[in-house]
Structure 1
Amino acid sequence: MSDKRETGTLVVGLGRFGSALANTLDKLGREVLAVEKDIDLAQQWSHRLAVVEADATNPDAVRQLGAKDFPVAVVGVGTSIEASVLVTANLVDLKVPQIWAKAISAEHGRILRRIGAHHVVYPEYDAGARVAHMVSGRMLDYIEMEDGFAVVKMRPPRETHGMTLGEAGIGSKYGVMVLGVKSPGEPFAYADSSTRIGPKDLLIVSGDSAMLEKFAHRS
């Protein structure tokens, strides 16, 4: 790992968030070094990931891990705000270029930003907001970007069944854009005006979140 730190990711904390993130990065072929102070969690993941049992709230421990050599560090500690802040501060002191930190509240997030975290994520809030959109209509997946822009996977409204995108005039009528269509048994295809919409198709649609909600609730 020592010769690959310049392209790797340091993940502190192997709770549900940290372990899912570290495991996914590993599957994507990224070099990952996980740090976990709980001996049971460290041993649980040691056969899948490179794991060091250490207390990252201790600045000397973080320094000895070579944290400063990583371009990206993720602080997955969330249950203890004090521990989260101390770990983040240690990484800031070592001038890690990109620090991502998990927050469990808006106040927690503000503290993390003030001490130098570059990115703050709210997994529980984001998951709740995402599911809220999904359970309220035809949306099967929902990803919100910035300024109210979102991309969703959804079933097509009944009024568009059997029509091409050009005939349906979705862009002009509803103010959203169909990026692609997935028909049963067929590969995903980028959409154009000649793409025909079937009742069992899946649409990938982008646009303002409020407009997407209105489109998804069409009969």
Structure 2
Amino acid sequence: MAEKKGPDREAGVLVVGLGRFGSSLAATMDRLGQDVLAVEKDPALIAQWSGRIPLVEADASNPEALEQLGAKEFGAAVVGVGSSLEASVLITGNLVDLGTPQIWAKAISAEHGRILTRIGAHHVVFPESDAGSRVAHLVSGKLIDYIEVEDGFTIVKMRPPKEMQGFTLAQSNVRRKYGITVMGVKSPGQEFVYATPETRVSANDLLVCSGHAELLERFAARP
């Protein structure tokens, strides 16, 4: 097995499944210099990703295979298998039995997510649902980027409404008027700067704002 050896494997991440979700996650983590090992049983995907990310060919639904590749040494594992409910549950259960400290598991439905939670997954993610919700906000309004943090609190990137252009944040007073906070401003060709009351906004700037999702949507809808 072409297993990656590292000095700090306990801080490493095991990624099971090299579909779109798992491969993107593993490749990004590897590019960021994090200790990551991908596990995949499909020879075609192994051939596609061989030499690009650290990986090993194994069937993670087999607990002995996970033990042999040292899965219990990792501090976290991501189960990227979603198309097969049985495989997803078996792999997650195997990682729970190994005592993996943090298990992130992909789910393709609410029921799938509930099962993963019941058997011991610490975090359940819904990539398709989350992406659809995010894109809906971008398509339907003037938002350039949208991240919902928790309980409706959201951070967005947007162009400034006309009423802000040419004025400082103190003059436009958007927090009092609209209940949102301008966190920072990015002007063309300039570094991102954290906003102060004296920050002047121009038509070509990008704003990074925070607040409740509904308030931000209303603010972004202004001309």
- 3-state secondary structure, aligned to 2:150: coil
Structure 2 residue aligned with 1:4 = 8
Structure 1 residue aligned with 2:212 = 208
1:105-184 superposed matches below 5 A: 105-184=109-188
What is the CA RMSD across the aligned residues, in angstroms? 0.8
> Do residues 34 (structure 1) and 35 (structure 2) align?
no
Cα-to-partner distance string for 1:120-158 (whole Å, 9 max, x where unaligned) = 000001100101111111100000011100000001111
Figure out how many residues of one structure are paired with residues of the other and give that number. 219
Moved more, 2-11 or 114-123: 2-11
Letter in 2 for 1:123: P
> For 1:71 and 1:34, how far apart are their aligned partners in 2?
14
Deviation at 1:199, TM superposition (A): 0.6
> Do residues 46 (structure 1) and 26 (structure 2) align?
no
- 3-state secondary structure, aligned to 1:142: strand
> For 2:150 and 2:15, how far apart are their aligned partners in 1?
25
> For 2:161 and 2:15, how far apart are their aligned partners in 1?
42
Structure 1 gap segments, 5+ residues each? none
Cα-to-partner distance string for 1:155-176 (whole Å, 9 max, x where unaligned) = 1111111110000001111101
> Do residues 93 (structure 1) and 131 (structure 2) align?
no
Deviation at 1:88, TM superposition (A): 0.2
- 3-state secondary structure, aligned to 1:193: coil
> For 1:140 and 1:146, how far apart are their aligned partners in 2?
19
Among all aligned residue pairs of Structure 1 and Structure 2, give the percentage whose two residues are the same amino acid.
65
Deviation at 1:4, TM superposition (A): 3.3
Letter in 1 for 2:199: T
> Could you tell me the TM-score, scaled by structure 1's length?
0.98
Deviation at 1:56, TM superposition (A): 0.4
* Pick aligned residue for 2:71 from 67, 74, 91: 67
> For 1:45 and 1:106, how far apart are their aligned partners in 2?
30
> Could you tell me the TM-score, scaled by structure 2's length?
0.97
Letter in 1 for 2:46: A
> For 1:64 and 1:185, how far apart are their aligned partners in 2?
52
* Structure 1 runs, 4 residues or longer, greater than 6 Å off: none
Letter in 1 for 2:207: L
